[in-house]
Amino acid sequence: MPVLSTRCRAIALALVLPFLLAPAAAAQGQADKDLKAISAYTFTLPKYKQLMTAMLNLGNAAKANPKVAGALEGSGNLSLDEMTMRLQSLAPARKAIVDAGLTPREFAVAQGAWLQSGMSYGLMKQYNLTADSVSKATGASKANLEFFRANEAELERIGKSMEAQMPKDKPTDEADEASEPADTAE
């Protein structure tokens, strides 16, 4: 009878296994779909500027509204659909993005493409690799890698300008001490 019980266990496992693996397969399917959308996004200088403006607007909205800051926390672990729903559902975040000329969905995709392409371009530049080889290895759009290469100086200028406009956190005690007048002894 051990053969029968082994056979029953195998059949039971065969019936249950797809249900156990379905969430992992669905998550992988969603990740593949997201990667495909991110890799298909192509930057232009106007779209890049819109993304940077949206990021700046979101930074200002987060500084002014703790709900926006909370919504942005951990958003890197979300699928594009989840990120879009989160941004769409919070009026100040949605306004920050729409005011820059993007939809929440395009913002989520563009931000993923920015991270993917920027990091891939960094590898390309550091190791003197071709856009073809990096694109094949990382999945980054070859067009975006070429965009980063062709516009490197302008993108750096935009980044510095954006950094200067970002909301500042409260200065640290050391910075406060440095800006206080020194005691003068008479």
Residue 87 in any domain: the answer is yes
Q: Give the SS3 label for residue 97.
A: helix
Helices 2-40/80-89 angle, 10° precision: 60
pTM: 0.76
Token pair recorded at residue 72: 């942005």
Residue 94 in any domain: the answer is yes
Helix ranges (DSSP H) in 41-103: 45-64, 66-72, 80-89, 91-98
Please tell me the distance from the alpha carbon of residue 1 to that of residue 154, in angstroms, as a whole number: 76
The closest of 76, 151, 165, 79 to 118, measured between CA atoms, is: 151
Mean pLDDT in residue range 124-149: 94
- The distance of Cα 11 from the centroid of its chain, to the nearest Å, equals 43
Residue-number span of the structural domain to which 98 is assigned: 33-166
pLDDT interval class at 75 (50, 70, 90): confident
Does 14 have pLDDT greater than 50? no
Residue 25 in any domain: the answer is no
The closest of 93, 52, 54, 51 to 70, measured between CA atoms, is: 93
- The number of distinct structural domains making up the chain is 1
- The distance of Cα 16 from the centroid of its chain, to the nearest Å, equals 36
Which of the given ranges, 2-16, 139-153, 159-173, has the highest pLDDT on average?
A: 139-153
Residue 21 in any domain: the answer is no
Please tell me the distance from the alpha carbon of residue 41 to that of residue 44, in angstroms, as a whole number: 10
Residue 18 in any domain: the answer is no
Token pair recorded at residue 115: 């991270």
Residue 183 in any domain: the answer is no
Residue 133 in any domain: the answer is yes
pLDDT interval class at 148 (50, 70, 90): very high
Helices 45-64/104-126 angle, 10° precision: 110
Mean pLDDT in residue range 78-107: 96
**pLDDT given at position 151:** 97
Q: Name the amino acid, one letter, at 57.
A: N
Residue 124 in any domain: the answer is yes
- The distance of Cα 185 from the centroid of its chain, to the nearest Å, equals 54
**pLDDT given at position 171:** 54
